[in-house]
Each structure stands twice: as C-alpha cells, then as structure tokens.
Structure 1
Amino acid sequence: MRAGRGSGSPSGGRAGRPRGRAADLRARLLRLRNTVERRFPVITRLTSHLIAVNLLDSATRLAAQAFLTAVPLLFLVASFAPQDVRNQIVTSLQDVLGIEGSADQQLKLVMQADPASLRQSTGVVSGLMVLLSATAVSRAMQRLCQRAWRLPSAGARVAAWRWPVWIAVWLAVFVLQGPLRNGFGVGLWLGLPLLLATEVGIWWWTQHLLLAARVPWLPLLPGALLTGVAVTVLTVIAKLYVPAALNHSLDRYGSLGAVFTLLSWLIGLCVVVALGITAGAVIAREPAVSRRLGSPDRPNSPEF
C-alpha cells in the first residue's frame, strides 16, 4: 500500500504541475487585461468597436466596389474626356502607383485609343449605367461611416444626391494627384504637404457628406487626420511594391494577375481607411476629447 501511494504521488504531482502553470498563466493574463482596460479604456473600446464594425468585411466590400467602379469609369473617361484629361489621369496613375513597363503600356492603350471608336463601343446608355452603378462604392463608404459612428441609415431622399457628388469630387481629386504630388511644378517639398492637406480635407468632407451632416464638423476631424495621414503614407510607399508586383503579375498571369494585384492593394488601402475612420469615431467620443469637440453622445448599442 505504501509502495502504491509512493509510486502514484510523483506522477500525480507531475500531472498537476502543467495544470497549475496553465491556471497561473490564465490568472496573469486576466490581471493584465484588467490593468490594460483600467489604464487604457480607449483601446478596449476601439477593439470592441472594430469587431462590431466588422473591419475586414467592410474593407473587402469597399475594395471590391471601388475596383468594379474604377474599371468601367476608366473606359468611360477614355471615351468622353478631352485628351488633356486622359493624359493627366495617366500621369496621376503613374505618380500614385508608380506604374511602368507592361502595366504602363496597357494603360496607355486604353487612355490613348481613338475616342470615337470607344464611344461607339460604350454608348450613351452604357455610360449612364456605369455612372449609376458607380454609386455602389458611395453607398459602401456611407455604410462604413455609419457603422463607425453607430448611426442608422440615412433616408434615400437625403442621401441619394450625395452619392454621385462624392464620386465626382473624388474623380476630380484623382485627376489632380499628379500636380499635387509635384507641388504644381515646385517640387516634392511642397507636394507632400499639399497631398497630406488634401487627403485630410477630402476624408473630413467625405464623412460629413455621407453621414448627411448628422455629426458636426469638429468631431469628424480625428478620423480625417488619422485616415489622411495613413492614406498619404500608404500611397507614397506604394511605389516600392505595386510597380514590380503589377508587372510581374501581368507578364506571368496576364490580365487576371493584374486584377489580383490591384485588388489586393485596394483591400489594404480600404482596411487603412476603415481603421482610420473607426478609430477617429472612438477617439472623438472619449470624454476628454468629446468635451472639446462637441461630439454626439455614445449610443448604448450599435445601430446598423
């Protein structure tokens, strides 16, 4: 009997040690989480809010809608826009994505094609359908902003005219990307501040427009700053990755490879946008910030 107890006791102790260590680790993690929640409540609220917004799903949908909007619009602009505008779009794409080589040749084939033949293949009815379908990306962006601020959907009468306006302004801003980055001929030292100011301003205005002015201007500023800075950095470093990846995909896989590369880059860009707008909404509703900006009260439950 003594031998049985003696032989069982060490094995029982060895078996109990991992369980004891796991329980000790779990207790330490719980204490760490409680400490973080107590000292940095904004991190906890941001994490829970990102889960509620469903960040990756929202960003993927937005990227898909943006891609499906950009390609038909590219052909539409090539069909009806003056040659100077088409040349400026080529320059802007080269500046934004660093397009060169095979990708640059494919782009110029579209933008420098005969407008008359493109108009015949496009047609007025097709052009109108492209413009109407382009509002899908506006609606996707509007849903993202509403989720970030936990607001119900705006009525169709209030929101409908805002969708094509948003598309038109963004198209104009994109055409001007080349001159902006070059500082309108002055140089990069002026171009980067101009680009940053434009990005912050456009994302500030985007939230106000698509939220149907239900949130005052000042509370929207943190989201505009975060998104503007992040998008500026991402588009500046895009030249380090996109050109080589795009040309490699085109040479090896053809057009399908280019689609995959551009869509991957768009998803990354939209994740940054979704994160910036959502984080800005959370920060703007923090008590210390909310008192200064006059932010609306935080709802008790999300309304999507």
Structure 2
Amino acid sequence: MAWMTRLKLLHARTERRFPVLSELTSRLVSANLLDSATRLAAQAFLAAVPLLFAIAAFTPQSIRDQLRESLRAMFGLTGRSDLELGQVLEHPSDDGLRQTTGFVGLVVALASATSFSRVMARVCERAWRLPRAKTRIAAWRWVAWLLVLVLVVLLQGPVREGFGVGLWLGTILFFLVSTGVWLLTQHLLLAGRMPWLPLLPGALLAAGATSALALTARIYIPTALNRALAEYGSLGLILTLLSWLIVVSAAVVASVTIGAVLVQDWTERRDGSEDGE
C-alpha cells in the first residue's frame, strides 16, 4: 500500500538524519520499559511494606513520627489513608509481639530489598548495555543503596517543606536531592563500572521526572487513596499505590535509558570527529 511505503521511507529517512532516535527506540524496546517498570514497582512495594513494620517495631517514637511526616509530605495523606499509616507505625504494646514482628519484618525487608536492588541494577545495566555484575562485587552495594533510600525517605518531610522556608525552596531541594540519588543509584548498582560524569544526564532526567510526579502526587494520591479505601478497603490502597509506583518506575527507567543513549551517541560522534581529523 502507498501509505505503508511512505511510512517506511519516512522511517528510513529519520534513521539516517537522527540515528540517536533509532538507537533510543531500540534501547527502550530492549529494556522492556513497561515490564521493567512493573517489576521495579512491585519490588519497591514488597520492600517498603515489611520495612514499615520493622521501623515501627525497632525504632524510637521520634523516627516513626519523622517517617509519618515524610510520607504525608510525599503523598499529601489525609483522612482515612493517614489513619491507616498511623496504625502501621504505631508502637506495639506487647513487647514480645513487637520483637517477633520486628525481627521477621526486618529479615523480610532485607530479603525484599535485595530483590528490589537487583531489579534496579538490571535496569541500569540494560540502559548502558553492560553485563550483570558479579554478586560478590555488587552485594554490599545493594544494601548500601537501600540504606541511602531509607535516609532520603526519612528526610522527605523537611526537604519538601524547604526546611520551613516554603514549597518553592522545597521543590529546588527535592530536585537537587533526587539528582544526587539517581546519580549515586547508577554508580552504585553498576558496581562503579561507569564514571560519574556520563551518569549525570540520566540522573538529571530522572530527577526532573520524579520532581514533576512528586508535585502531582500531592494532588492525585490523597483523593485516590481515600476513595479506594472507601470502596475496596486495603486492596484498593494496594492497587492505587502500585499503579502510582509503576508510573514513577516507568519514568525512571525511561530517564536512565535516554541519558545513557544520549551520552553514548555524543561519545561516538566526538570519537568519530577526532578520527576524521
């Protein structure tokens, strides 16, 4: 058909004039964007839930209060969803139950975290087309990355509020912190196989995407969570959070991949021009 022929010609012409677009499309397809985002979101959820119980069991009241304020700031929680979070982070009155639940929660949290770290590491490796890092080299990095994420989440409350100055400063600080987190994420989970500077474009893109989603989360998430809780109970809460995590994960996967393609395309062009000279 004529339109199919024209489409193929247009595609071929675009590839010749903008080879980076062809490479980007190929890389996103090979990275299985939706599949990777779904796996990443699922592992994030499985790591977060037991970690909440572990924190509730082992940490002092001040840490639990800080976590609750940070989660409120992240999602703008109000009403029933905020009450549900408060019940999760409430200190158990039975010390025996607290220790048992805390120990089991901590073990499960750590086990889930390694799966979460491995999925995120695989996303970074696919983006940069690197082979899997050996477990003995990467294992400690998985745990270190998790600890960094926990610390960042705990500080979300004051960071997003600009340490009392206002939302405008909080937005800037959140972007800067996010850039650092995604820069460190790639460097750690790639087992130091890439230098810092080439990782910066992907980190900036991921920070921009997550910053935009963070602003919309405070508008969308509270209403969606409370409606889901009212209609479907805890199952509705799980589905809503998972859906949101998939969106965030897809943005991160795409950002890291685009950053890698842009850097490698620029490097190839620079090397080619130097060879031509």
- Provide the residue aligned with 2:255 in structure 1: 276
Q: Residues 138, 115 of structure 1: CA spacing in aligned structure 2 closer, same or farther, 3 A cutoff?
A: farther
Shift in Å, 1:227: 0.5
- Provide the residue aligned with 1:197 in structure 2: 176
Structure 2: stretches of 5+ with no match in the other structure: 272-277
Q: 1:164 aligns with which of 143, 149, 154?
A: 143
Greater Cα shift, 30-39 or 176-185:
30-39
SS at match of 1:215: coil
- Provide the residue aligned with 1:146 in structure 2: 125
SS at match of 2:195: coil
2:45 matches 1:60? no
Q: Residues 290, 122 of structure 1: CA spacing in aligned structure 2 closer, same or farther, 3 A cutoff?
A: farther
- Provide the residue aligned with 1:24 in structure 2: 2
SS at match of 1:241: helix
Residues 250-269 of structure 1 aligned to structure 2 (within 5 Å):
250-269=229-248
Please give the TM-score of this superposition, normalised by the length of structure 1.
Answer: 0.85
Q: Amino acid of the residue matched to residue 92 of structure 1?
A: S
Whether contact under 8 Å (2:53, 2:105) holds in the other structure is: no
1:65-86 deviations in whole A, cap 9, x for unaligned? 0101100000100111111111
Q: Amino acid of the residue matched to residue 79 of structure 1?
A: A
Return the index of the structure with the highest Cα Rg. 1
Query: What is the percent sequence identity of the aligned residues?
Result: 52
Aligned length: 270
2:84 matches 1:106? yes
1:268-298 deviations in whole A, cap 9, x for unaligned? 1100010001111101101368749xxxxxx
1:217-271 deviations in whole A, cap 9, x for unaligned? 1111111011011011111111121111110110110001111000000011100
SS at match of 2:130: coil
Distance in structure 1 (CA, Å) of the matches to 2:270 and 2:64: 47
Residues 3-18 of structure 1 aligned to structure 2 (within 5 Å):
none
Distance in structure 2 (CA, Å) of the matches to 1:189 and 1:221: 24
Distance in structure 1 (CA, Å) of the matches to 2:114 and 2:98: 22
SS at match of 1:184: helix
- Provide the residue aligned with 2:274 in structure 1: none
Distance in structure 1 (CA, Å) of the matches to 2:94 and 2:268: 56
Distance in structure 1 (CA, Å) of the matches to 2:29 and 2:93: 47
Greater Cα shift, 160-169 or 127-136:
127-136
Shift in Å, 1:163: 0.8
Please give the TM-score of this superposition, normalised by the length of structure 2.
Answer: 0.93
Q: Residues 268, 115 of structure 1: CA spacing in aligned structure 2 closer, same or farther, 3 A cutoff?
A: farther
Shift in Å, 1:31: 2.0
Residues 215-234 of structure 1 aligned to structure 2 (within 5 Å):
215-234=194-213
Residues 206-245 of structure 1 aligned to structure 2 (within 5 Å):
206-245=185-224
Q: Amino acid of the residue matched to residue 267 of structure 1?
A: I
Distance in structure 1 (CA, Å) of the matches to 2:167 and 2:219: 17
2:96 matches 1:135? no
Distance in structure 1 (CA, Å) of the matches to 2:13 and 2:105: 59
- Provide the residue aligned with 1:45 in structure 2: 23
Distance in structure 1 (CA, Å) of the matches to 2:62 and 2:93: 13
SS at match of 2:163: coil
2:152 matches 1:173? yes
SS at match of 2:164: coil
- Provide the residue aligned with 1:12 in structure 2: none
Structure 1: stretches of 5+ with no match in the other structure: 1-22, 293-304
Greater Cα shift, 281-290 or 257-266:
281-290
SS at match of 2:118: helix
Q: Amino acid of the residue matched to residue 56 of structure 1?
A: L
Please, what is the CA RMSD of the aligned residues? 1.6
Distance in structure 1 (CA, Å) of the matches to 2:59 and 2:99: 14
Greater Cα shift, 69-78 or 126-135:
126-135
Distance in structure 2 (CA, Å) of the matches to 1:289 and 1:241: 42
Q: Amino acid of the residue matched to residue 72 of structure 1?
A: P
